[in-house]
Amino acid sequence: MTISADEIVMNSEFDIINRYFLRSAHNASLGIGDDAALISCQPDTDLAISVDTLVASHHFFPDVEPRSLGHKVLAVNLSDMAAMGATPRWVTLSLTLPKIIAHDNAWLAAFSSGFFALADQHQVELVGGDTTQGPLSISVQIMGEVEREKALRRSGAKLGDDIWVSGFVGEAALALRYLQQKTMLTAEAAASCLPALHTPIPRVSLGRALINVAHSAIDVSDGLVADLEHILQGSQVAATIELDHIPCSSRLKDKLSEGGADYQLAIDCLLAGGDDYELCFTVPENKRIVVTQLAQQVGVRLSRIGKIVPGEGLTVLNNNRDPLIFNKKGYDHFLD
């Protein structure tokens, strides 16, 4: 990372907070500036809380564009709110910064700009956090509200439910493999799929719309198979999905038809790639028209990919409707 002399300012911890992250709180009784924030929830709601930590060289490249990073660290938490059908309201942000970044005003300005642009889009307030020195690591805790006993959960899938997924699957994983030089893409194709990795779109409006429609939901962060299996385990059911029903871009479809190494790479991206931050959810068969209407209402592509069935585990059918054998199921922080 190269920093010009003009960009270097000896920032203290409180300089960083005051210059880049201090904002007035409108939806909290007390925001940044005291030992703790004070928030008041709406009556008849449950408080949904989630936290994610992103570590440089593990979850993102150290030289990633800081505005995109600011967007992504919040987007992954907003996606958790979406999966619960919650309205995101407040966040805290903990930054562990190397000295070179702590004194880089251009980096800090770009990061905070990306973070607050997405926060403002979803009317989310930063109400606290922490800053410290060390290897680059970012933790965001998010809090949201959902109507009492209405939250979408992993444990609600019912026999006969259709399985749906939003958007496209596998794009972020394909972009990552391109950056790792594990696959070739044209400049145009790379430019089209890289945003899925760097600036994912959390499906907050969809999650809210699925309340009273979906029986269960989860966001696809570790891979479609791994995350769908969380629903199956929580609900004590099984599922069958069809490979050719999983929505993907023409870039991945081309690789699926090529055979050889690129075919396996495409399978891995679709089934186990992760970082999609799309929603996978189950809905009674008699609500297919409702789901189609929701897709138009929120402006998100929704694809029906399979069915909840009796038994245990997940079966993926290939294009010939034969069970597909695959070993890698998704990302694991301690195994990958």
Annotated binding site: 35, 50, 52, 59, 80, 129-130, 154, 219, 221-222, 275, 331
For residue 328, give both structure tokens: 């890698």
Q: Which amino acid is at 98?
A: P
> What residues are designated binding site for Mg(2+)?
35, 50, 52, 80, 130, 219, 222
Runs of H (alpha helix) within 164-279: 171-179, 187-198, 204-209, 224-235, 250-258, 260-272
End-to-end CA distance of the chain: 26
> What residues are designated binding site for ATP?
129-130, 154, 221
Bridge partner list, 147: 45
> What residues are designated binding site for substrate?
59, 275, 331
The C-alpha atoms of residue 15 and residue 10 are separated, in whole angstroms, by 9
User: How many separate helices (H) and strands (E) can be counted in the chain?
Assistant: 11, 10
Please state the φ and ψ torsions of residue 252, each to the nearest 5 degrees: -75, -35
Distances (CA, A) of 76 to 85, 215, 221, 243, 294: 15, 22, 8, 26, 22
Do residues 326 and 273 touch, judged by C-beta distance below 8 A? no
